[in-house]
Amino acid sequence: MKRFLDFVTRIPKPALFAAAALVQVALVSVMVFDRIQILRQGTEVKLHTRAVDPRDLLRGDYVTLNYDITSVASAEAKDLPREKIVFVELVPKTDGFYEAVSVHREPVPVAKPGVLIKGRVIGSFITPTSSQVRVSYGIEKYFVPQGEGREIEQARNQGKVSVIAAVTPAGRAAIKRLLIDDKPVYDEPLF
């Protein structure tokens, strides 16, 4: 350990700062590249939103989105603990929107045009007649320009907001486009 400390103390401070800056730039670049890959290569799925507040002190206005696919019927609901990673099979309906048809503990093959989306269990709802698991997919917040969050929330509460999400073969998802009355309002840039 002493040898390592001696070695580090001999490196000029500007070189250490430059190395730290390069590491930070590399980490940000990896995050941006990952998001670009999802948006470019993911299968597009159209999702209904449900009414669920907009302000993040660090990032500005956002709209909280809840989806029809958040609650999924599952016989295994009581056996899926909170925070468990699950895979939900989505299939298109005749109106073009995707619906959740099954929950799986591991990735399973799905027939096209269906997709498998990865999520995290946030709870379950069990009654004598049904059991459902609630799943979060990481696409529940959408950041918008300052001052525009309330307008989108009002449209969302009226059932007019939907999204086009990109879903990779590994199940990772990102919002690609926000729609109001089926008209694009925001397109996510590919950076």
Which has the higher per-residue pLDDT, 180 or 153? 180
Domain span at residue 157?
A: 43-187
Query: Is the separation of the CB atoms in 98 and 90 below 8 Å?
Result: yes
Summarised one tens digit per residue, pLDDT across range 25-40 is: 888 888 888 878 888 8
pLDDT at 54 over 50: no
- On whether both 28 and 47 belong to a single domain, the answer is no
The number of domains in the chain is: 2
Alpha carbon distance 134, 185 (integer Å): 28
Which pLDDT tens digit goes with each residue over 123-155?
888 777 788 899 999 999 888 777 777 788 888
Q: Do 23 and 102 sit in the same domain of this protein?
A: no
Buried b (16+ CB within 10 A) or exposed e, 144-170: beeeebeebbebbeeeebbbbbbbbee
- Tell me: pLDDT of 51 over 90: no
φ, ψ for residue 41 (rounded to 5)? -105, -10
Shared domain for 32 and 49, answered yes or no, is no
pTM (2 d.p.): 0.73
Q: Which has more pLDDT, 51 or 105? A: 105
Q: Residue 191: pLDDT band by 50, 70, 90 thresholds?
A: low
Same structural domain, 84 and 15 = no
